[in-house]
Amino acid sequence: MPRSRGHPFSFTPNPETVSALRIGIAGLGTVGSGVLRLLDRQRDLLSDRAGRAIEIVALSARSRDKQRDVDLSSFKWYDDPVSLAEDSSIDVVVELIGGDEAPARELVEAALSSGKSVVTANKALLARHGVALARLAEANQVSLAYEASVCGGIPIVKGLREGLAANRISELHGILNGTCNYILSQMRDTGRGFDEVLAEAQALGYAEADPSFDIDGIDTAHKLAILTALTFGTEVDLASVHIEGIRHIGALDINYADELGYAIKLLGVARRAEDGIEQRVHPCMVPKHAAIAAAEGVYNAIVVQGDFVDKVNFVGRGAGSGPTASAVVADLIDIARGIRLPTFGVPADKLVKAVPRPIENRTGAYYLRLMVVDRPGVIADVAAVLRDHQVSLESVLQRLRAPGDNVPVVLTTHETSEARMTAAVAQIGALEVVVESPRVIRIEQF
């Protein structure tokens, strides 16, 4: 397929409207199989919308003989996925293998270097190597498209790069992982503990056998790093993302949050401040009336703050065969139409190195849960530590009384700095009357 040698980014329809866009797909798991089904079922619709047919030429996966619900016999097969990049009959490589190194990285690099556009759902690859791959795509005047890598069927990449392109974005926050959102929603709705709900999520296929990638915040961090680059025109900087997961969230915290008028969500937050750009992933208490609190179960939600549009909300299914396949094929339609945009919204040589804003600079309110020995003077001792660190209390909850036994005490603070709160919690945790590590959750007033 000829490529334009004019302006480095093309916005005009491809003149070869009669020729099909020929694709090769590497990876035939849940998403890959979904792409095959979607391309088959929507064939005529896609041809009308793209101005040309989208045809599969070749496939690659770990096993050719695995039982699948689609007929693969009419396609070329490559045992080595990197070989897709060498097939001259392919215009676009769809990478659905996953992982940030070989073979996915080798395949994408080879495809871009050979003048083939790439569509990928690989968030880890982009979070670690996105800028280098964007430069490679631009050098070869092809597309690197990745709508499916962040939030499945939600068109957040197109929303930021195209729909909100006229705005300066000051903040983005969102639920970027459906597994964690399902667990926290079920804990609240059923009163069950974290371990029990996690086991259920694994049985239902919402969580992997090893769930650490999701519940420890790593998946959310990959997505946030990509969105931050796209939102602020910065290089992808995964190393600067502050990451916490949800393992420490207990049923008590869920109940107290509800009583205080909050919902607990694992959020990714990217915000521009005078002293840098903050990127953080951690559980947050958000007001029940906040838009982000309404997203339940496996749904994702993102709120973007722009200077001309104010707040824009994106909500939808963030994973699964259908939603993610929809995002993959949306990118294929753009390529078929001849639309080629900068990978991260601006040319790669205009991406700047962001000044990371450390988590210690965060200011806001906090929830603090303590398990203490119930005896006179405990609250006074805790309050004295907070006072010494210039942390002001807003409320104290102690529902159970059992003199001499261990009881929970919940405190919320007025706005203070992360550095002060961290120092105060460390000193409180060392008090003789505190029998468990304090549980701290940041409160965000969205």
The phi, psi pair for 13, rounded to 5°, reads -60, 145
Residues 180-185, mean pLDDT to the nearest whole number: 97
The whole-number pLDDT of residue 37 equals 95
The confidence score (pLDDT) of residue 68 equals 80
- Record: fold of 362-443: Alpha-Beta Plaits (3.30.70)
**Catalytic residue (choose from 223, 265, 288, 350):** 223
Report the candidate in 107, 173, 89, 172 with the shortest Cα–Cα distance to residue 144. Answer: 107
Determine the average pLDDT of the residues in 283-308.
96
Q: In the predicted model, what is the mean pLDDT of residues 232-236?
A: 98
207 and 198 Cβ atoms separated by less than 8 Å: yes
Give pLDDT, residue 400. Answer: 66
**Contact in structure between 128 and 221 (CB atoms under 8 Å):** no
- What pLDDT sits at residue 399? 73
pLDDT value for 18 = 52
* Secondary structure element (H or E) that encloses residue 134, with its range: helix 123-139
Same topology between domain 21-153+322-350 and domain 168-317: no
Query: Which of 340, 335, 344 minimizes the C-alpha distance to 141?
Result: 340
Q: What is the mean pLDDT of residues 334-354?
A: 97
The pLDDT tens digits for 113-172 are 999 999 999 999 999 999 999 999 999 999 999 999 999 999 999 999 999 999 999 999
Q: Where are the domains of the chain?
A: 21-153+322-350, 168-317, 362-443
Q: What is the pLDDT of residue 1?
A: 42
* pLDDT for res 64: 86
**How does pLDDT run across 1-29, given as a tens digit for each residue?**
444 444 455 444 444 445 999 999 999 99
- pLDDT above 90 covers a percentage of the chain that reads 89
Average pLDDT value over all residues in the chain: 94
For the question of residue 116 being annotated catalytic, the response is no
Measured between alpha carbons, how far apart are the two ends of the chain, in Å?
48
- Which helix (H) or strand (E) segment holds residue 258: the answer is helix 251-260
Q: Can you point out the beta strands (E) in 104-203? A: 117-120, 144-145, 169-175
Query: Cα dihedral angle (428, 434, 435, 437), rounded to 10 degrees?
Result: -30
Superfamily of domain 21-153+322-350: NAD(P)-binding Rossmann-like Domain (3.40.50.720)
Tokens standing for residue 190? 């059923």
Q: Region 88-113: what's the mean pLDDT?
A: 97
Distance CA 358, CA 347 (A): 27
CB 109 within 8 A of CB 92: no
Protein fold of 168-317: Dihydrodipicolinate Reductase; domain 2 (3.30.360)
Assign 193 to helix, strand or coil: coil
